[in-house]
Amino acid sequence: MTNENHRARIAVHKFSSCDGCQLAFLNLGEPLLTLAETVDILHFAEAGPIDEEAEVDIAFVEGSVATSQDAARLRGIRERSRFLVTIGACATAGGIQALRNLHDTDVWVSGVYAQPEHIDLLADSTPIAETVKVDLELWGCPVSGEQVLGATKALLAGHLPRIDHSAVCMECKRQQAVCVMVAQGRPCMGPVTSTGCGAICPRWQRDCYACYGPAVQANVSALATHLADAGMPADEVARRLLFINGHAEPFRGEGLDWQARVIQRSGSEGEQG
C-alpha cells in the first residue's frame, strides 16, 4: 500500500460512543509518536487533525449509527476509504446503547429530556456493517492498543490480520486461570464469548460479561439452559445475553427467546390467578 510517492493515510472517525476505543490509540505512549511519524493521520478530531473529507487508506470507525445524519456521513467515509475498520462494540455490534432497540425509544427520550422534539435520535442504534461494507471488525468494549496497532500493521502490509475468535475458556486454559464457573459457580459468559481481552474477568475472580462479543460456533442456547438449570431466573438469563453486545447474534435471538419465556410465564400465572 505504501510506495515511494505515498505515505499511508489514516483517519479515525467517531459516531455514537464513549470515545474509549479511540483511547486505544491515545494510550499507546511511544508507539503513538512512532505511528504519527510513519503514517499521515489526516482525521482524528480528539487528537487534533480534522479533515473528515480526506481520502485514506484505512478509516477506523468508532461508534454506532444513531442519528438521521449518520448514514450519509458513513457512506461518504466508505467511498473515500480503501479499508474500513470498525473498532469496538458500538461500531461492530451497536453497543450498549442498542439496548434501546428492544424498547420504545421515544418513551426513553421523553424519560430523559423535557423537550424530546429537539433530540435527533433513530429508534435503533445499529452497527456500521448494517449501513456500509466493513473490511475488518475489531470486537471489544473497549478494543486494546494491540488490536488497533496489529490491524494497522497488517493492513499496511497488504493483508487482513488473523483474529482469534475462540472462546474465553480457551484463553483461561492458556493463562492457567481457575474456572470461575466450575470453582465458584459464577454465571460466566466465557464459554460463548470471543477471546481478545486476555480473560481479564476470570483472572480477576469474576464472571465474564461478554464484552468481546460472540465466539465462533458459540452454543449460546446450551449455556443459557445451564444458567437456568443452575437456578438463574429467566429474566436474568435474558439480561445476561442482552447486554453490551446484545444486538449481536446469537446473543440477540437467544436473549429475546428467554425474555419471551418471562412474558409467557407471567401471562399464564395471571390466567391461573
Residues in the chain: 273
Tell me which stretch binds another protein (CB under 8 A): 74-82, 103-111, 158-166, 253-261: 103-111
230 binds another protein (CB under 8 A): no
Q: How far apart are CA 30 and CA 37, in angstroms?
A: 11
Tell me which stretch binds another protein (CB under 8 A): 28-36, 152-160, 163-171, 217-225: 28-36
Distances (CA, A) of 192 to 143, 189, 213, 266: 18, 6, 8, 28
Shortest Å, Cβ 217 to another protein: 25
Q: How far apart are CA 219 and CA 191, in angstroms?
A: 8
Shortest Å, Cβ 70 to another protein: 8
Q: How far apart are CA 41 and CA 148, in angstroms?
A: 14
Of the candidate residues 17, 81, 147, 193, the single one contacting another protein (CB under 8 A): 17
Q: Which of 108, 144, 109, 105 is nearest to 126 (CA)?
A: 105
- The answer to whether 75 and 68 are in contact (CB under 8 A) is no
Of the candidate residues 121, 167, 181, 223, the single one contacting another protein (CB under 8 A): 121
Cell of residue 121, nine digits: 435520535
Tell me which stretch binds another protein (CB under 8 A): 75-83, 101-109, 161-169, 261-269: 101-109
Cell of residue 204, nine digits: 480477576
162 binds another protein (CB under 8 A): no
Shortest Å, Cβ 88 to another protein: 9
Q: 200 to 229, contacts with another protein by CB under 8 A?
A: 200-201, 203-206, 209, 211
Q: Which of 63, 93, 99, 92 is nearest to 242 (CA)?
A: 99
- Beta-strand relationship, 81-87 and 56-62: parallel
100 binds another protein (CB under 8 A): yes
Residues that bind another protein (CB under 8 A): 14, 16-24, 26-27, 29-30, 32-33, 36-37, 41, 45-50, 52, 66-67, 95-97, 99-100, 103, 105, 108-109, 111-115, 118-121, 125, 141-142, 144, 197, 200-201, 203-206, 209, 211, 236, 239, 243-244
